[in-house]
Amino acid sequence: MRSTGGVLLISALISLISCQSKEYVLPARTPLLVVNGILQADQPARIYVGRSWSPTESVPVPHFVSNATVILRSEGRIIDTLRHENSGIYIGRTGRNLIAGSLYSLQVSAPNYNVASSNSVRIPNPFPLNKVVLDKNTPVLGLNGTNADPVLVQTTLGSVRVLDEYYGISIRPMYQKYRLGTAVTIAGLANQNFDNECFVNSNLPRDPQSASPYQSAFFFKTNCFTNQQGERISLVAETKGGVILDNGTFQQATADRFEITLINSTRDYPLNRQSLQGPEGLESAFIEPRLTYSNINNGFGIVSGFNSQTLVVINR
C-alpha cells in the first residue's frame, strides 16, 4: 500500500521553497528629458519640458527643467528658439504663429541630459465641419437618466478627409459664466464601421500648472469613416445639472448654451492617451504591460499637431 504521508511532505516542501522571496535591486536609470506639447495652428508654440525618474526614486523637486534650450524647426529649418516662461513651460515668440499644413519638429537640450527631439508633425487643416445641430426630438438617455434632460448633439462632417488623423469633439454645457456639472457621452455613429478601436475617450490637454478643470473629449479616427461627406458624430449632452456660484453656494441650473470645441488632431495625442488607459485596481494586475506611446527620440512624451475651433450653440 502506497503511503500518502511522504507525498504530502514533499508537496509541502516544494510549496515552501516556491514561496520564498528574493530581493532584487533595480539599477538606477539615467534621467531623460520629458517633452510634451500641442502645436496649435494660428498660435505660437507652447511646450512643457520635464525630466524622468526611476520608480524607486522619490519625485524630484522640481520635476520640470527650467534651463533647457528648445529649438523649433519647420521643414528642417530653425524658425524659433522658445523662451522659458515658468515651471517648465516654454513658449514661442509673439507673432510667430504656427501654420496649418506646415511640418514642424522640436529639439530640446539641457545640461546633464541627452538631447531629445520630436518626430516631425504636420499641423492638420481645420475640422471639416458641415453643421452642428441640437436634436431634441430623438429620445436619448444620459448617464444621469432622463431627469438631466439630455439632448442629442449631431455634428455633420464635410467632404475633406486625411487618413491617420483624429477628429476631436468636446462639449461644455454652460449656465451664464458657469460650467454645468453634467455628463457628455457617445450616442452612436451613423457609420457602422466604428468600434472601440476607432475612438478614444480622453481629456483635452492643459498646462501642468493650470488650476482649471479638465475638459473631456472624444477623438474619432478619420480612417473609420467611409465617405465622410454627410456622416455624423452623435453625442448626448445633459442640459440640467449643478453649478457652484462665485459665493460658493451650489445651485441647480439648466444650460443656456453649449460651447463645442472641434479639433483636427494628428494621431499622436489620442494614441498617447489611449496607451495610458486600462483597468484600475486589482484588475490591472491581470493585463499585459504595454508601452506608453511617445514620439520623442531619446526621451519621453509627445508633440501633437492641433487645429481647433470653438462654437457656441444656444439651447432654446
Domains of the chain: 33-122 (2.60.40.10), 129-276+305-314 (2.60.40)
- In which band, very low, low, confident or very high, does the pLDDT at 2 lie, cut at 50, 70 and 90? very low
Instruction: Please check the confidence at residue 173 and state whether its pLDDT lies above 90.
Output: yes
Residue pair 37/57 in contact by the 8 Å Cβ criterion: no
Mean pLDDT of 176-194: 72
For the residues of 161-220, what is the DSSP string, one character each?
A: --TTEEEEEEEEEEETTEEPB--EEEEEES-TT--TTSEEEEE----TT--SPP-EEEEE
Q: What is the pLDDT of residues 103-130, one digit of tens each?
A: 999 999 999 999 999 999 999 999 999 9
- In which band, very low, low, confident or very high, does the pLDDT at 189 lie, cut at 50, 70 and 90? very low
- In which band, very low, low, confident or very high, does the pLDDT at 195 lie, cut at 50, 70 and 90? low
Q: Which of 80-94, 221-235, 245-259 has the lowest mean pLDDT?
A: 221-235
How far is the C-alpha of 40 from the C-alpha of 44, rounded, in Å? Answer: 8
- Count of residues making up the chain: 316
Instruction: Please check the confidence at residue 85 and state whether its pLDDT lies above 60.
Output: yes
pLDDT at 141: 80
Residue pair 204/304 in contact by the 8 Å Cβ criterion: no
Instruction: Please check the confidence at residue 211 and state whether its pLDDT lies above 70.
Output: no
pLDDT at 13: 47
Helix, strand, or coil here: 129?
strand
How far is the C-alpha of 217 from the C-alpha of 40, rounded, in Å? Answer: 17
pTM reported for the whole predicted model: 0.82
Q: Which three cell numbers stand for residue 147?
A: 431627469
Q: Which three cell numbers stand for residue 250?
A: 451650489
The residue written with cell numbers 524607486 in the block is 56
pLDDT at 45: 96
Q: What is the pLDDT of residues 148-169, one digit of tens each?
A: 899 999 999 997 778 889 999 9
- What is the H or E stretch that residue 271 is in? helix 268-276
Q: What is the pLDDT of residues 8-34, one digit of tens each?
A: 555 554 554 555 566 766 667 789 999
How far is the C-alpha of 265 from the C-alpha of 103, rounded, in Å? Answer: 14
pLDDT at 316: 85
Mean pLDDT of 260-270: 95
Instruction: Please check the confidence at residue 185 and state whether its pLDDT lies above 50.
Output: yes
Helix, strand, or coil here: 146?
helix
* Percent of the chain surpassing pLDDT 90: 54
How far is the C-alpha of 96 from the C-alpha of 92, rounded, in Å? Answer: 7
Give the burial class of 186: count Cβ atoms within 10 A of its Cβ; 0-12 exposed, 13-18 middle, 19 or more buried: middle
pLDDT at 25: 67
How far is the C-alpha of 261 from the C-alpha of 178, rounded, in Å? Answer: 17
Task: State the chain's mean pLDDT as an integer.
Answer: 85
Measured in whole angstroms, the distance separating CA 13 from the mean position of its chain's CA atoms is: 51
